Structure 1
Amino acid sequence: MHSRRRFLQTCTAAAALPHPASHAAEPAKPFSFILLGDLHYDSLSHHDMKWLDAHHGGDLSQINNYSRLTAEVMPGMFAALKQRIASLRDSAAPPAFVLQVGDLVEGLCGTAELSARQNREALAFVTQSELGIPFVFTKGNHDVTGDGAKEAFDEVLLPYMAKEARKLDSTATHTQANHTLTQGDSQFAFFDAYDKTSLEWLEAVAAKRTAKHLFVTIHPPVVPYGARASWHLYAGEKTKSQRAKLLDILGQQQAMVLGGHLHKFSALTRNAGGKSFSQLAVSSVVSSLNQKPKDILHGLDTYTGDQVNLEPKHSPDTAAQRRDIYAAERQQVTSFEYADTAGFAVITVDGAQVTAAVHSGSQTEAFQTLKISV
């Protein structure tokens, strides 16, 4: 009897002790990251001018401009980013990495050799800027545009993607531009908008998700904004079903989409999949370090077809079609912000809340701070 009583007492005492497996997981520590839009790193020496004239003659003025901005403005921009990163190191949410949303380079070089050179020089610029944290990015259309560009992407940019991702997440091994990494309680899915298998890949990622937050980096917008309403992903008539599926995935996951492509700032939320998701777009094609935002649109009442008037010279023959896109889309959009500006954003992840401080040029004061978690 005594032995049985002693056994029961021992079991009761043991049950009262905390079991290692039953410990509540410690809350993930807050962190931040720098969000960069399109960069279009370029130099005239990267281009076969005969090829360019024959195949993309209309892009020469753009290439001249991006080459000038790369030489004259980008170094100052990255110096400012380095200072900003240093200032955040002792904050409650120290910076973990820089995330760039695609079009790291201008492309349109004309040969695989010149494309590889452009890629290497762009990465050398990033390395020499000594930002002090990993630099991760997704694939943009310019990164793979031009003869030999796709091969150069696989040869130069893809291995760099993998190397930087592994600095943050040792399990982040990949051989394609579609990849994920985990930071704290957040998962980051880098979506290759130029691969036909990407939608199924994202669906599989969503199905296995366990992280509190899901960020999806997609170069072109999912939800249209600005004058170029037809420049969003799966915009064509033949890809309507793909867009519907993508919207459902993003909504069901209450994802935060990060992108660029249109060289403007925009933030919005959209209903989809019975829930909603957010989209944040920035540009980092900075023409002046002290630039100020213009064409500011604020509030849902400004998400109308009148956005086509922001760029009146852009494809005037499609204005009516673009207005129709907005007439349909605004039924699901629940918030909207827009400005013509370029710079960077500081995204802060703190528990359930994710905020974005958006900066114009290299200015230290944000021109807008908003919540992007839904």
Structure 2
Amino acid sequence: MYKKLFVFALLSLSLAALTGETPNAYRLLVLGDLHYTSRSYHPQDHPKKQKSINKYINMWKSDSPELLAAAKRQALREKVDGVLQLGDLIDGGCSTMSLQEKMLHDAFLELKKYFPKLPIYTVIGNHDVRLRNGDSIEPVRRVLFPMQAAELGKKMLGNGNYTFRRGPDLFVALDYFSPEEKSLDFLRQALAEHSKTRYVFLLTHYPLFPAAYHNPLCLVPYYMKIAALLEKRRGIVLTAHTHVFSRVTRTTAGGRVSQMCFTSMGVDWHNNHLLRKLFGNPLTEECNWESYLKIARKGMADSKHAAILLEDLYGLEISGKFTGEFFVRKSGFAILEVTDRAVQVKLFVDDSGIPAKILNL
């Protein structure tokens, strides 16, 4: 009996080697902010923000559909198993609840149009709850939670906190627009219930660590506590919000946490074929971690809350050893490839099918 099992296992490994497949390996498509919108959701002009609204309306006439079409083609080439969308699915800002609900509904269906056979996993972003006259979770609760529940094979979600498994790995989506302590408790409980994992991926809209020099401390609540939980479990944070690509890693005596920030804003999608042919389309580094700290300190010094902000930044800085790369403002999508050996991210900033950058997390 044991001899037969050994032979079967050996044959399985040999077949995987011949086909180039690795056991427990998979790929996922990753999208950052999308800010879906159109004129139909804004029948009346906004007295102060119409210029910004029009920018994103125009973005969705050509650039964003082109970006998603390129992402779809790459997803088919790479045979991905699912799609991660890391918040700000919509631009929001609607004048009524019903318009905001329709925007959310249509945005999710638009995403399914490009990826009809793949499960889609979303997290809640600040624009998803932003209406013209204030924030509200109700449109998300009424529309997005049921649609996300269906993707997970569940009847309903009470909030945006949920988990799913891919092979030996755990994915945890956190909703920071529910009371923060509930999200932190949810993470603790999820880690306790799934004690045996290879990697733990945290899906969040707001970053855990600084992800852009122009937005230095817009971080999730309780980020120090969350980092302490993740570093014991080979934690990797997948985030968005800043509209730039960046990678930051913190190492302490307790372990390491890597964070990758993604953006899929059509306004920063540079896909000019002629310019690309003449000059290429690289994704260059704008600053590293040390440069980020200098820029962040300078910006905070001019704030009326300078003392508090600088103290928070210093506390973060001394909490571990940081490395980081912050890239120029270009948008696109990514393929996350997970194996026993590594977690790799391929960043695409045009429709060439050639990654502009390949990073290990």
Shared fold by TM > 0.5? Answer: yes
Q: Secondary structure at the match of 2:303?
A: helix
Q: Secondary structure at the match of 1:212?
A: coil
Match of 1:290 among 254, 271, 276: 271
TM-score by length of 2: 0.82
Match of 1:187 among 170, 191, 209: 170
Match of 1:64 among 54, 77, 83: 54
Q: Shift of the alpha carbon at 1:44?
A: 2.5
Assess, with a 3 A threshold, how the Cα gap between structure 1 residues 175 and 66 changes in structure 2: closer, same or farther. same
Alpha-carbon distance in structure 1 between the residues aligned to 2:177 and 2:330: 26
Q: Secondary structure at the match of 1:177?
A: coil
* 1:305–1:327 Cα contact (<8 Å) kept: no
| Deviation string, structure 1 residues 72-91 (Cα, Å, up to 9, x no partner) | 211111111111112113xx
Alpha-carbon distance in structure 2 between the residues aligned to 1:272 and 1:29: 28
Partner of 2:357: 368
* 1:181–1:189 Cα contact (<8 Å) kept: yes
Q: Shift of the alpha carbon at 1:333?
A: 4.0
Partner of 2:106: 121
Q: Shift of the alpha carbon at 1:337?
A: 1.1
Assess, with a 3 A threshold, how the Cα gap between structure 1 residues 258 and 343 changes in structure 2: closer, same or farther. same
Equivalent positions of 1:49-88 (< 5 A) are 49=44, 52-53=46-47, 57=48, 59-88=49-78
* 2:146–2:155 Cα contact (<8 Å) kept: no
Match of 2:152 among 162, 165, 189: 165
| Deviation string, structure 1 residues 183-207 (Cα, Å, up to 9, x no partner) | 1121110000111210111011112
Alpha-carbon distance in structure 2 between the residues aligned to 1:315 and 1:62: 28
Identify unmatched segments of 5+ residues in structure 1.
1-13, 90-94, 235-241
* 1:248–1:272 Cα contact (<8 Å) kept: no
Matched, 1:198 2:183: yes
- Bigger shift: 352-361 or 100-109? 352-361
Assess, with a 3 A threshold, how the Cα gap between structure 1 residues 114 and 293 changes in structure 2: closer, same or farther. farther
Q: Shift of the alpha carbon at 1:355?
A: 0.5
Alpha-carbon distance in structure 1 between the residues aligned to 2:216 and 2:4: 57
* 2:270–2:330 Cα contact (<8 Å) kept: no
Partner of 2:294: 305
Q: Which amino acid aligns with 1:124?
A: L
Equivalent positions of 1:2-41 (< 5 A) are 28-41=23-36
Alpha-carbon distance in structure 1 between the residues aligned to 2:186 and 2:237: 16
Q: Shift of the alpha carbon at 1:48?
A: 5.7
| Deviation string, structure 1 residues 298-339 (Cα, Å, up to 9, x no partner) | 644434222577xx7x99536956666544433424321111
Matched, 1:219 2:205: yes
| Deviation string, structure 1 residues 66-109 (Cα, Å, up to 9, x no partner) | 111012211111111111112113xxxxx101101000001110
Q: Which amino acid aligns with 2:238?
A: L
Equivalent positions of 1:125-140 (< 5 A) are 125-130=110-115, 132-140=117-125
- Please provide the CA RMSD for this pair: 3.1
Partner of 2:91: 106
TM-score by length of 1: 0.79
Q: Shift of the alpha carbon at 1:118?
A: 0.7
Aligned residues: 332
Alpha-carbon distance in structure 2 between the residues aligned to 1:207 and 1:177: 19
- Bigger shift: 113-122 or 360-369? 360-369
Q: Secondary structure at the match of 1:163?
A: helix
Alpha-carbon distance in structure 1 between the residues aligned to 2:199 and 2:336: 13
Partner of 1:357: 346
Alpha-carbon distance in structure 1 between the residues aligned to 2:333 and 2:301: 28
* 1:223–1:232 Cα contact (<8 Å) kept: yes
Partner of 1:46: 41
* 1:42–1:66 Cα contact (<8 Å) kept: yes
Q: Shift of the alpha carbon at 1:272?
A: 5.0
Identify unmatched segments of 5+ residues in structure 2.
14-21, 273-280
Alpha-carbon distance in structure 2 between the residues aligned to 1:178 and 1:254: 20
Partner of 1:230: 217
Partner of 1:97: 82
* 1:111–1:148 Cα contact (<8 Å) kept: no
Q: Is the radius of gyration larger for structure 1 or structure 2?
A: 1
Partner of 1:238: none
Q: Shift of the alpha carbon at 1:278?
A: 0.6
Q: Shift of the alpha carbon at 1:261?
A: 0.6
Q: Secondary structure at the match of 1:297?
A: strand
* 1:263–1:283 Cα contact (<8 Å) kept: yes
Q: Shift of the alpha carbon at 1:363?
A: 4.1
Q: Which amino acid aligns with 2:160?
A: A
* 2:159–2:178 Cα contact (<8 Å) kept: no
Seq. identity, %: 23
Q: Shift of the alpha carbon at 1:182?
A: 0.6
* 1:250–1:277 Cα contact (<8 Å) kept: yes
